[in-house]
Amino acid sequence: MTDLPIHPLSTEHQMLRDAARDFAQKEISPIAADFDQSGEFPYATIKKMGELGFMGIEVPEQYGGAEMDALAYVLAVEEISKADASHGVIMSVNNSLYCHGVLNFGTEEQKKKFIMPVASGAAIGAYSLTEPQSGSDAGTMKSRAIRDGDFYVLNGRKSWVTSGPVADYLVVFMMTDPEKKQKGITAFLVDGKTKGVVRGRKEPKLGIRASATSELVFEDCRIPAENRLGEEGEGFKIAMTVLDAGRIGIAAQALGIAEAAYEAARQYAGQREAFGQPIGAFQGTGFKIADMKTRIEAARLLTYNAAIAKENSKQTGKRYSLEASMAKLYASETAMFVAHQAIQIHGGVGYSGDLPVERYFRDAKITEIYEGTSEIQRLVISRSELGLK
């Protein structure tokens, strides 16, 4: 596979990327198929990723992170996801949906208490927005938080929480003033051991099977008022701001899946012979390789560009929703396209569980759904371009 000389990386970025690649290929690749089969959560490798600084890449060292930039984060998620998309999403949610939100909206005390263990990889963080009847239209949630003196009492049912069954700490969005609709949503930090946090059924899934997903039910869960993240009514904006960061992580995950599927197909196309020549020499296969490679490099440009926009926003405060949505939309649809073509190039053997290509195909699908479907990304992009919001 030829590396195109785009976005020349700094020495630090190259070192980080190489360290992530080395770890992923040595420690994650060999176990990925077994964990996909068993659906077990990969505690041991996630812990090691924490020790290497991968669970809080952009978090300042004072809060237990590696204090690197947004491009470093994307490079690491890409490399980890090339080996296994389940590890990729656990890492992405921990870094983006959890740490990014607490870092940007938390008080000093909240950062010390709620980021330190998660950024260092000693604990796992999750983000809980979706409800059974409220997915794309996230502002219609029903879960309630009611103030009671120095506490809030949380009640409701959340669904599709990545790392829900195992998370030590959660960012949770609840309605505090239903009459105000979206502007009545508030964010909270919840210790997963708090009485009234009930872990629901672990979802059986098509792909990313080693990443645990579940419902979370809150039953008269009392949390200190000091655990409110931001002000009352700021929750929807916090949720959306955090999702912009999350979508770049999912773009990087999708890029990693696409690259893994592409590399398998490229090698196979050069080795497998039919009618007296390698199948890659037939235009039907060669053109597939050309389209796969071109789309991957386009997805990479959009994803790295979104990371740079995110990094710049740390100085300017400018939103990077458009860049994040374009990266996620294109990279996730590229992952699906490339994984589909990779199976086609492999033929029957690509459909077999003996090779990882069918896992790449199953893992790719979710990137078009979570953290905003492709349709939602198109909505964000078109509204932005047409000046509708």
Binding site for ligand CAA (CB under 6 A): 93, 127, 129-130, 136, 138-139, 160-162, 182, 236-237, 240-241, 243-244, 319, 321, 370-372, 376, 379-380, 389
Token code pair at residue 295: 């789309």
| Catalytic positions | 371
- 17: enclosing H helix or E strand: helix 11-23
Q: Give the residue with the Cβ less far from ligand CAA, 38 or 136.
A: 136
Closest approach of ligand CAA to the CB of residue 126, in Å: 7
Q: Give the residue with the Cβ less far from ligand CAA, 141 or 265.
A: 141
Amino acid at 229: L
Residues 6+ apart with CB under 8 A from 118: 55, 56, 64, 94, 98, 99, 124, 125, 168, 169
Q: Give the residue with the Cβ less far from ligand CAA, 126 or 345.
A: 126
Closest approach of ligand CAA to the CB of residue 261, in Å: 22
Token code pair at residue 13: 């970025």
Q: Give the residue with the Cβ less far from ligand CAA, 49 or 324.
A: 324
Q: Which of 82, 172, 178, 163 is nearest to 128 (CA)?
A: 172
Closest approach of ligand CAA to the CB of residue 313, in Å: 11
Q: Which of 245, 241, 259, 358 is nearest to 300 (CA)?
A: 259
Q: Which of 111, 363, 170, 110 is nearest to 258 (CA)?
A: 363
Closest approach of ligand CAA to the CB of residue 188, in Å: 16
Closest approach of ligand CAA to the CB of residue 240, in Å: 3
Q: Which of 80, 100, 121 is nearest to 246 (CA)?
A: 100
Token code pair at residue 16: 């980080």
Radius of gyration, alpha carbons of the chain: 21
Q: Give the residue with the Cβ less far from ligand CAA, 124 or 342.
A: 124
Asked if 31 and 86 count as a contact pair (C-beta separation under 8 A), the reply is no
